[in-house]
Amino acid sequence: MRYSFTPEQLADPQLGPAAAAVRSCVHCGICTATCPTYVLLGDERDSPRGRIVLMKDMLEKGGTPTKEQVYHIDRCLSCLNCKTACPSSVNYQRLVDQARAHIQEHYQRPLSERLLRWTIAKVMTRPGLVRIGLLLARIGAPVARLLPGRLGAMARMGLMAHPQGPEPTQFPKPAQVKQRIAIMPGCVQGALSPQIDGAVGRVLARRGIELVALEGAGCCGALPHHMGREEDSRAWAKKAIEAYEQGQYDGVLITATGCSSQLKDYAHQFAGDPVWEPRARKFAAAARDFAELCTPLKVTPPGVLRVAYHPACSLQNSLKLNGVGEALLEAAGFIVTPFLESHLCCGSAGTYSILQPDLSSQLRARKLGNIAAAEPDVLVSGNIGCLQHLASGEGLSQPILHIAELLDWAEGGPRPVALGNLALAAKPH
């Protein structure tokens, strides 16, 4: 695609890669079939191809974006299905990230939306404040369930959380330590589902991996990054990098795939910074996802379970770990049950389920309908956002849990509370 970016814009370490993405696009349209919003709406402006035109015009001109540009860019999930499908290797991620940062800097949103985005960036990145929010949601549950729009989406997600115990700070130490991995506490997951990290610690210990809590780190910065709040996002990244540099580790782990993809992209966030870019690049090279560390282990689970595995978009399109989750589950003796459109986003997408509740709900209903048609016993994923979003939908009759919880149980760990009274078929002989 032709563009009119100036030499100064092309030389910018953040805007330059976005301009290169524009130049790479040949408008073939292959991406449209993989774009969840285009599949739902059929509007070219809500396809990757259409958004690229909107973003090109906005970034070339600079200054205040139009309402139309903001409206359609906001409706992008950043699932990056288009990036995976693109035959021209258009780096759509660089373009949409820069577009969001530009909107944040140059566009004046209504006060109510500014307050909501500020709340997400300042509250949801801090587990202590999230716990207070969960308590308030439970106290006001009868009203919370009736709240409309974005407030309702936030409240219902909170009501679906059932944290089991405090967030772990100590993890099992293997008899023979093969790797010593720093684990970041994250933000939302520590408050909503602290049991996930406990299960991860036990699963990895069986593989000779010792987890050590990374003191001083917090949120990975993905939530503010999704909203173009790059200053906030980089501040969280610096905290993580500084904390990691204080110890001697073989890698750094965070147990949500969306957060893992954020850690691995730290170097770009600091592109052009002579001090922080090399430090961020070293940290990103050390970042690991649970699916990378968890090698398959042949075991016989306590009972036969048909498992629907929902691969988060971050796992498929950012981490490029397609098929790893299914292989782990099959090795553990579970029956992996495929379902239609498993590649399409469930509508969680970081902050998307709060900021775009209508579209998000439609995508969730579509996902849950396809899962229900496959008739699994249980639904698992590797991303806290997907887990909470899907659990808050209507019509889900199956238990839903993190893949580590199910693997831990199969390998001799505690039965996940989320399984409830689910009846199990007898173990195969």
Question: How many other C-beta atoms are found inside a 10 Å radius of the C-beta of residue 148?
Answer: 8
Q: In degrees rounded to 5, what are phi and psi of residue 160?
A: -85, -10
Cα–Cα dist 181/77, whole Å? 31
Question: How many other C-beta atoms are found inside a 10 Å radius of the C-beta of residue 136?
Answer: 13
User: What pLDDT score does 156 carry?
Assistant: 60
User: What pLDDT score does 148 carry?
Assistant: 61
String of DSSP letters for 21-46: HHHH-----GGGGG-HHHHHH--GGG
User: What's the Rg (C-alpha) of the chain?
Assistant: 21
Looking up tokens 């990244």 gives 237
Query: In the numeric block, which tokens belong to residue 119?
Result: 């709340």
Question: How many other C-beta atoms are found inside a 10 Å radius of the C-beta of residue 59?
Answer: 21
User: What pLDDT score does 189 carry?
Assistant: 77
Cα–Cα dist 192/180, whole Å? 26
Q: What angle do CA 223, 379, 418 make, to 5 degrees?
A: 85
User: What pLDDT score does 329 carry?
Assistant: 96
Task: From 369, 308, 370, 295, select the one nearest 334 (Cα to Cα).
Answer: 308
Question: How many other C-beta atoms are found inside a 10 Å radius of the C-beta of residue 123?
Answer: 16
User: What pLDDT score does 283 carry?
Assistant: 98
Tell me the pTM: 0.90
What lies within 8 Å, CB to CB, of 6 at 6+ separation is: none
- Residue 331: C-alpha distances to residues 117, 300, 419 (Å): 42, 9, 20
What stretch of H or E contains 188? helix 188-192
pLDDT digits (tens, 9 = 90+) for 307-329: 999 999 999 999 999 999 999 99
Residues of the chain with pLDDT under 50: 429
49 contacts 83 by C-beta, under 8 angstroms? no
Total residues belonging to the chain: 429
pLDDT digits (tens, 9 = 90+) for 114-134: 999 999 999 888 877 777 776
Q: Tell me, what DSSP letter sits at residue 418?
A: G
User: What pLDDT score does 182 carry?
Assistant: 97
Domains present along the chain, CATH in parentheses: 7-106 (1.10.1060.10), 111-159 (no CATH), 179-293 (3.40.50), 306-419 (3.40.50)
